[in-house]
A and B are shown apart, each in its own frame.
Chain A
């Protein structure tokens, strides 16, 4: 386990007031790996991503990116949020350009990179629209394009498709895989949908409810595109499900109502 082959090393304990959210959570993410994190709602998944992104300090421990503490000003990190996050006062094009502009990319280079990603997510016809003029699914595509435009080394996704209908969700899953295969960045994808996790990830980490601990770390050695109806897929999904079901409710691993906000 050398730091060179690991993009991200996590070793954190986090408290929210007196509430223990993450109890000595330890894992690493390899360079270019697509890691899915699964867990019951309220287990602190969103909080975990905020800590990984370096915008929320953990109570104890640290997050290392390429061997040094995470710093959003230096590390190239992108984040696709669960809630709508487009800027209503910017057009689709300017929304997608936001991350690049923060990184001080201008002129021809900015044009080229924004236009490239806009074509990938198929928003070409809507570049001059404001968010209130497009559908919720398109807004989420704008947010995904904004996250992918910066060519980040690490992309964090927080249940990005949860508000989409089934066909759009499936298209977006293929879209994200397609972009990832082209660009090859490290992805940490949070979801409470086990099937989605097994469909997308190289590896699935299953968390318990608060305080979150890792209860399983399952590799998904299936070639892509994956068939959710294939026996191997079904077997791995069943393994994940049995892990989740084996969590004993009596030990307080069921969703905790005290902090329903944390996703």
Chain B
């Protein structure tokens, strides 16, 4: 069966595509076989990540972005677009409400668009553990652009940056003061920072705070004011060359509900792609992504092997000792690994 499904996917059959996505998501052995066969056909699509706090307008922005991609100026080709939208699974029931499609109604009926919702199924980094697998299937199926929308992310859900070529972080006015922009985490991974809902009060402050934050690290400033004198800072040539090549994140206002700023955002995304292609960053991103993927799979495989070689009685016994404060958690892990013969 995998071989026929693979062929059908490469031929653009939607039923085969959707069934394969389920196989991958459910981590079935058929799914893994199909991924093997599809892998040589991947590596062509532009992967764009959209992340940001819940309610900042990520899905509405995706709706607008895809709509604009699909309705370009006359004479330009419309790229085909796949959307992978991740929403959280309940930590209690394991169920989920996947509601991103509600905002993407403008894309209905377009054969050049394929939207797939997925639940995070216990993963914590803003994506599901099988998201990259789904993206590979869409890539092999020939979609030119793949938009990946993360779960509503707080400060530390940065996994998307390992997957996407271009990461867009969506902010909205009123989410915090300048100190928030200093913090490590989600803002650091942005190639493009979008302040959505730019018609709401506080949008200017948000834009200013983000631009200020970037100006502190922008390498282009080569002179500083020192009392009344203007001092020029000498830089060694290599450093300034490197600095010229560095991508400075764009800060763009949008109003996703009306479509304002979307054209500028699309041109920003294209610029970033050109930058990656010309600077060699594209290849570096591919390397980082695949390295990360191998690391994740290795971790899963090791865990699976460990899990199958330890008896649940031993496991419960050690846990019981930890709960009684007879064995420390670290010591317990040591014993469990030894007990599995690893």
| Co-assembled chains A and B | no
